Structure 1
Amino acid sequence: MTANSTPPAVRLAGITKRFGDVVANDSVDFTVEAGSIHALIGENGSGKTTLMSILYGLYDQNEGTIHVDGEERSFDTPRDAMNAGVGMIHQHFQLVMPMTVLQNVVLGHEPVKNGFVDEERAREEIEAISTRYGFDVVEHLDTPVRELDLGTRQRVEIVKSLYRGAEILILDEPTAVLTPQEVDGLIDLMEDLRADGRSLIFISHKLDEALAVADDITVLRDGNAVGTVSASETSEAELARMMVGRNVLFESDARETTVGEPVLEAENLRVAGDRGLEKVSDVSLSVREGEILGIAGVQGNGQTELVEALTGLRTLSSGVVRFDGDDISAASRRDRIEAGIAYVPEDRHVEGLVMEYDLVENGLLGNQTIAPFANGGFLDWGAVREHTEEIIEEFDVQPPNPDSEAESLSGGNQQKFIVGRELGHDPDVLVASHPTRGVDIGAIEFIHERLTELRDEGLAIVVVSSKLEEIQALSDRIAVMYEGEFIDTVDPGDVTEAELGLLMAGQRLDDGGDASEDGVPEGEVSPSGTSGDESSSGVET
């Protein structure tokens, strides 16, 4: 921590922000000491993003004051905040995909010489920043951002803020798309930035990471600052209690799962992406009654295309998808819904909900042709409303108002509603893609409990996630996807999180490790009924 004579890097005093009748921040006090890392945690809807958006000039506060380096400031735009040395790394990167790394970094702040952009000077300044903090972006300066992996894109965002003179950095959920090794690298970088005198605000749902990197931690709940604690004097359990107002169960009891017959199978799938390039290469899998198959991997390695092929949203280049033994490779998404394949999409705002619709209208999605909601070509809105009210009650959706617009709900409540709607189809298979992405700890606990309960009741479930703690907690088997293939399939109890991270980065485990190349010890029978020494053109899971 800095000496007492040094003013705080940031002091927000009595910040209140209202959106109509909703109070997003209620007289919040928040102080970040100079040269420190301060974690800001809380459930979705607790006011974290709103508070930081005020500091970054995206919103005006209704009440309260902002002080930066001891001076009261007022920011009308993000440019005002950047001019005061405040930068923000958003959870969804603010990069122009077709432009190069260099163009993105200097955009709006181009150095000029004789009336032209001084590219040589820009390169020198970017290289100096990269060398100072060990970034590996210099080799990509002329590469379009869309061709970079997510970890490199994040480093480009950080370089962009440092290039623009940021002394105070807000990092919003920065580890959400990173492998464990990349997370370790980011934490090292944050510590280097702190050692260099910069001040960081770290927004995260991951309590272990907040405890590992932060000096102090502030918890928000329902728009109020519950308290600020020293990271060295608290615990995950205490932080979780502060966040949700009750004790939180972090680990569920081990359950004996009776595995039945294969329900959803895929054989030698090849699937092209939006640009026509092959994104899934010769992948085979099988998920059975009463089990959860976890698919792990850094986003962008073919998981999205695989899920869309399984659920009927993307055409196969080759291969076969079977449901209860029947070939459904050519079946539409509608056909697969009616057959019993439910789907929780990875982007709830784009694919899961119509944000301006109320919950009754969103409750109809996917049910338009299914009794009792459709009868003789007409919709029974009374039945739809009753169904929506059942979802709200069973899945504890807040506020419990079926006439609420989807966009008015927090991310966690939106996700709970989608999960409830999909399970309302009474499916035989659930494919859940990133089911708790951007969801607070209370909603994560709830969704995990429901998935394991349904697994134990005999539902076949596929969970796709880049969160290793989620994959390990839920899965009976884990298939790791890298560059369009299953690089390995492992038992969650036989590998560490670090080993899973290596697999996600494309490194196979050693022959003497806990997992074999196809995830089945030699000579034993896998849950899919194949022996470990049986060869196949794809990894059979």
Structure 2
Amino acid sequence: MSKALLLKDITKRFPLVLANDRISLDLEWGEVLALVGENGAGKSTLMKIVYGLQPADEGEMWVDGKPYKPRSPQDAIRAGIGMVHQHFMLVEPFTVLENLVLGLEPGSPLFLNLEMAREKAQRLMEELGFQVPLDEKIENLPVGLQQRVEILKALYREARILILDEPTAVLTPQEAEELFRFLRTYVAKGNAVIFISHKLKEVLEVSDRITVVRDGRVVGTVRTEETTLEALARMMVGREVVLRVEKGPARPKEVVLEVEGLEAPPRLKGVSFSVRAGEIVGIAGVEGNGQTELVEALTGLRRYRGVARYLGKPLPPSAREVRALLVSHIPEDRLARGLVLDFSVRENAILGDQHRPPFRGFLGFLDEGAMEAHARALVEEFDVRPRSTELSARRFSGGNQQKIVVGRELLRGPRLLIAAQPTRGVDVGAIEFIHKELVAARDRGLAVLLVSADLSEILALSDRILVMYGGRIMGELTPQEATEERLGLLMAGISA
């Protein structure tokens, strides 16, 4: 029987970067193949080549035994390949049904036959065991249902090979388990799945085989039942990785941040909590339940109603004033809010503090020597690779970009650190490093507010856990009380 997908010696070069170096892999019909590796390992580039978003420089591909050389995603769709991207490709003001047919509209140019599409969508949902409201607008759906729409959109186009890029990043544990059940049903019908994820526990749960990519090369493919979490992490990083966060008990002191009845449109509907020096307070929840509004309100990026006190005094209304009080902020999106990609490491290392000593020198000009010394300390202390202060931020992998942001925010000597999704989209080695830095910051007496959609991160780091749903806090748990099941129910709005 022919392979579902066969890649041989796929090579892709960019200026100064060999993204894919003679990569070969195969995907069988009826299996889930996990593709794992550090940020910058070449996974995304490889999948863009498979889906027709980029051409390969060298190498060959076959789909179901037939030569395959896509020039666009349309060629991939015609070959039976669908891809669900980490950031959904949906038109939010359109309904689910309208998104399903976009670009493949049934009927004639003068008459759109949506009933034909509705029947096909209903048939697909019945076959695969999940439902989405076809007449609801995307903007009104929770992210878990939006992901189902993306999957249904691929299946509507009759995809037999499904590529999923970080598919559980925005799901509750219960929603992730529903996704895994669907994938088992899907491959049992003779289809095939490539599953890309940084969450190695999920990879071990859902996959049949695992291919590990490092530095643009395949370092090995193993059967899932024949490997372990530790072995996978070692293959990915090339060294032993400490997967368990080592931290002693918290020694909380004075209240640093106090919030009462905080509201901010459109989603934050009134929350109250406190964070003390020397503790990490974790906020768990599926994205889109008010966490972004909460973080932006506390960092001066969004207007709010209610009370927010820092060291007993009201937080000022602007980001610059908040930052001047030694409040540091790791933003949830490092590309949109954390870095200027065309700036060098030296320039990114002082963002937000460039107007203050020691970086502001004579007559208001920047002090290049102070900037260089600061950037050099950052790349050394936070293990940023390569060790250059001259390279632009866009030249670094996602994990190293995040280290630049984390290093900048911690080297300021803050009293309060607000860390939103601090390890999103970074590899297991960078996660290990960032987690150690957050615990060390707590042990130095910082108050840390950790906002994360990653439950394993919340459970590993938090001294107290708050769960948000619908813009409100559903409950507070100690790490001893918190299980993934209990947290998942609270994240879904079930308080029992």
Question: What is the TM-score with the length of structure 1 in the denominator?
Answer: 0.90
Deviations 1:327-386 (A, max 9, x none): 22x432111111110000001110111112221221221112221011342221221122
* Equivalent residue, structure 2, for 1:475: 462
Structure 2: distance between partners of 1:319 and 1:151: 30
1:371 equivalenced with 2:357 (yes/no): yes
Deviations 1:59-98 (A, max 9, x none): 1111110011011111010100110001100000111111
Structure 2: distance between partners of 1:258 and 1:102: 53
Aligned-residue sequence identity (percent) comes to 52
Structure 2: distance between partners of 1:385 and 1:349: 22
Q: 1:312 aligns with which of 300, 306, 316?
A: 300
* Equivalent residue, structure 1, for 2:175: 182
Q: 1:47 aligns with which of 34, 42, 46?
A: 42
Contact 2:247/2:439, CA 8 A, preserved across alignment? no
1:300 equivalenced with 2:300 (yes/no): no
Unaligned ranges ≥5, structure 2:
none
* Equivalent residue, structure 1, for 2:272: 284
1:442 equivalenced with 2:434 (yes/no): no
What is the aligned residue count?
495
Shift of 1:257: 2.2
1:147 equivalenced with 2:140 (yes/no): yes
**Superposed CA RMSD:** 1.1
Deviations 1:292-338 (A, max 9, x none): 0000000000011011111111111x21111111122x432111111
* Equivalent residue, structure 1, for 2:448: 461
* Equivalent residue, structure 2, for 1:357: 343
Secondary structure at the counterpart of residue 55 of structure 2: coil
Q: 1:84 aligns with which of 79, 98, 107?
A: 79
1:339 maps to a residue whose letter is L
Structure 2: distance between partners of 1:10 and 1:282: 51
1:37-436 paired onto structure 2 within 5 Å: 37-113=32-108, 115-137=110-132, 140-273=133-266, 279-316=267-304, 318-328=305-315, 330-375=316-361, 376-436=363-423
Deviations 1:387-412 (A, max 9, x none): 11111111111121111111121111
Q: Which moved more, 1:212-221 or 1:96-105?
A: 96-105
Secondary structure at the counterpart of residue 312 of structure 1: coil
1:510-521 paired onto structure 2 within 5 Å: none
Q: 1:20 aligns with which of 3, 15, 19?
A: 15
Shift of 1:115: 4.0
* Equivalent residue, structure 2, for 1:526: none
Deviations 1:253-304 (A, max 9, x none): 340321110011111112113xxxxx22221111111000000000000011
Contact 2:459/2:482, CA 8 A, preserved across alignment? no
Shift of 1:188: 0.2
Secondary structure at the counterpart of residue 340 of structure 2: coil
Deviations 1:440-479 (A, max 9, x none): 1000000000100110111110000011000000000000
Shift of 1:114: 7.4
Shift of 1:21: 2.3
Structure 2: distance between partners of 1:409 and 1:199: 33
2:333 maps to a residue whose letter is D
Secondary structure at the counterpart of residue 379 of structure 1: coil
* Equivalent residue, structure 2, for 1:535: none
Structure 1: distance between partners of 2:441 and 2:407: 12
Shift of 1:508: 1.0
Shift of 1:113: 4.0
Secondary structure at the counterpart of residue 354 of structure 1: coil
Unaligned ranges ≥5, structure 1:
1-5, 274-278, 510-541
Shift of 1:48: 0.5
Q: Which moved more, 1:473-482 or 1:244-253?
A: 244-253
Structure 1: distance between partners of 2:391 and 2:278: 35
* Equivalent residue, structure 2, for 1:524: none
Structure 2: distance between partners of 1:127 and 1:252: 45
2:261 maps to a residue whose letter is N
Secondary structure at the counterpart of residue 29 of structure 1: strand
